[in-house]
Structure formats: C-alpha cells, structure tokens
Homo-oligomer: A and B are copies of this chain.
Amino acid sequence: MTDEKVWPQHALGKELNNWGRWGEDDQIGTLNFVTPEKRIAAAQLVRTGKAFDLGMPFDKEGPFKAGGFRTNPIHLMTLLPSDTPTPDGLISADDMIITGLQSATQWDGLAHAGYGGRFYNNVPAAAVNNFTGASRNSFHHAVTRLISRGVLLDIARLKGVDRLEDSYEVTEADVLAAEERQGVRVESGDIVLLRTGSYKWFLEGDREHFLGNAPGPGLDICRWLHGREVAALAMDNFSGEVWPSPVEGAMIPFHQVTIRDMGLTLGEMFNLEELAEDCEADGVWEFLFCAPGLKVTGSTGSPITPIVLK
C-alpha cells in the first residue's frame, strides 16, 4: 500500500473509525447497534402485514456476461423424478447451486474490503486466505443482527426522476432532504435502504447499463451514517457506491471507509422498486426488515433474499 499520499477516504476513515468501540475482538461492527430493544421496536412496525421481496433471482439470467470476473449463479439438478423408481412410486428431486457470494442481491461483510493491509478492527490481510476463508470478520457472525427496523430513503423520487442519472453521487444533503420529504428520521440500529432507481436497468434487461456507470453514495454521506449509528446500508445498484469512483486512483473509497473503518455492512443489488411504490403510496417509510443471509463459515458476505414486512 502507499499511504504517503493522504487519500481523502483514509483521512475520513480515521475520523470515523470504530475499531475497538465494541472490543478488540468484535467482528460485526455497526451491527452491534441492533440491540434487543431495537428488535422489539422494529417488530412493532408490522402494521398491515404486507410483505415485500427485495431479492434478485439467483439464476443464470443474472447481470453478468460470459467472460467477466464474476459469473451468474448456476443451478443444477442432482436428483430427478426418473432417478427414484421405488415400489411406492416415489418421485424426488434435489438440486445444487454454484454461486459467487457476490453474484446477486448480497451483503458485503467486514472481510470484504480494507486498505493499508488491514480489515475492520485491525484484522491483518493475511487473516483472509484460501485455507481459512475469512478467519476474522466472517459474515457468518452477523446473521442474528440483520433483522431490524428498515428505512427506505428514495433519492430518485426526491429528485423527481425515474432513476438518478449515471454516476450521480448521493450526498448528505440528499439523504437529509429525503428524510425531510418523507417525514422519517434514521436512528441508531436502522438498516437503511437507499434507492437510486438503478435497478430498473436490470428489470428492463439492460444488464450492461446496470453494471455500468451507477449512481450511488460517496464519501459525503459517511459522517451522516456514522452520526446516526446506521447498522447496515443497502442499495439498489450493483456497486455499493457511486461508479466509477470520483476519487481518482481509488476504486471503492466508500467501501474502504464504511466497511473497514466504520465496520458497516453494505448491501448491493436490492430490488427496491415495489417497496418504494408502496411507501410513496401510504407515506410509511419504516418497516421490519429481514435479511439474515446464509451462515457460510469464513465468508466475506452472503447471498440474500431480503424480505420487508410493513
């Protein structure tokens, strides 16, 4: 690494650093904000019993083209009705999946990104390797914390557009204005869903645009995330931050500050379209959010199908 130049994300990360805040052995960061009291309060938000599915399907029709670094999930049948010719006419089917933990709707956990040779809470780079996977900061420690109050901030609607323009950077002013417009306030332990409208590209079948110059948040909202004690932040774009990065020479500076310094779990490729319609219609932007993910030992994140109950 080259820390001689002071990178803006590293300076900001130093300011917002949460290392040691929950002990030197902590592996879940801001998910510590999801307390028993928070769960009780969040459950009270189920008022109409409506349910929303925020997940991208896991299948070969996913966003990735052949030949790239990431590939779409591969679903295989491993048992079929023709395999079980038993006396009682049993038919049975099993299946298998081969998937990147980052191949569709997903959590980026605290072993997913860092800098300066360190992940969240001073974990050295070598703690993440082929023998152990993520021997520290594995996502699997987080599963019980990913049910909490969810709050949707709809930046596209704030701006009066169908979707934000390519590479638009969502700012602190934007999220404050969205709270104001929506009459909701993000509080400690919330899981924030930030809507840019980018997911529409995927829904419309334009995978190239979806994986292209995405709108998303940048360094400017980090202090707000920190001050409000946000537990996790999820987005509808593919990249988890504005793409490409406005910080020259830095590919994912927002990931660096949030995941590595703050210990903030990030969500990507959330389908917020139907939920946002409903929230706009009834004026209720808070709900019970549920996306525990899969407890894969040593993982840097998890594929998920997030569910919202209002």
Contact = CB atoms under 8 A, between A and B. Distances in A.
Question: Which residue, of A47, A93, A118, has the highest number of chain B Cβ atoms within 10 A?
Answer: A93
Contact of A252 (B92, B145, B251, B307): B92
Contacts of A62: 66
Contact of A78 (B10, B100, B255): B100
B288 A144 contact: no
Given A66-B66, A72-B67, A89-B117, A295 B58 contact: yes
A52 B91 CA distance: 35
Contact of A80 (B36, B48, B80, B87): B80
Contacts of A93: 111-113, 128, 134, 300
A173 interface: no
A3 interface: yes
Contacts of A60: 66-68, 71
A255 B42 CA distance: 36
A200 interface: no
A251 B217 CA distance: 48
A57 interface: yes
Given A91-B117, A130-B79, A290-B290, A53 B143 contact: yes
A78 B130 contact: yes
Contacts of A72: 66-67
A70 B292 CA distance: 25
A44 to B, nearest CB: 7
17 contacts: A9-B88, A55-B143, A61-B67, A65-B65, A70-B94, A71-B71, A74-B98, A88-B247, A88-B250, A90-B114, A91-B115, A94-B100, A95-B101, A97-B98, A147-B307, A290-B292, A294-B294
Nearest to A74: B71
A128 B50 contact: no
A246 interface: no
Contacts of A224: none
B58 A35 contact: no
Interface in A30-48: 35-40, 42-48
A76 B75 contact: no
B99 A96 contact: yes
A147 to B, nearest CB: 6
A117 B91 CA distance: 7
A305 B293 contact: yes
B252 A59 contact: no
A18 interface: no
Given A61-B67, A88-B256, A93-B300, 14 more contacts: A1-B91, A35-B49, A39-B46, A40-B46, A61-B297, A71-B71, A74-B98, A77-B78, A80-B128, A85-B126, A89-B115, A93-B113, A93-B134, A292-B307
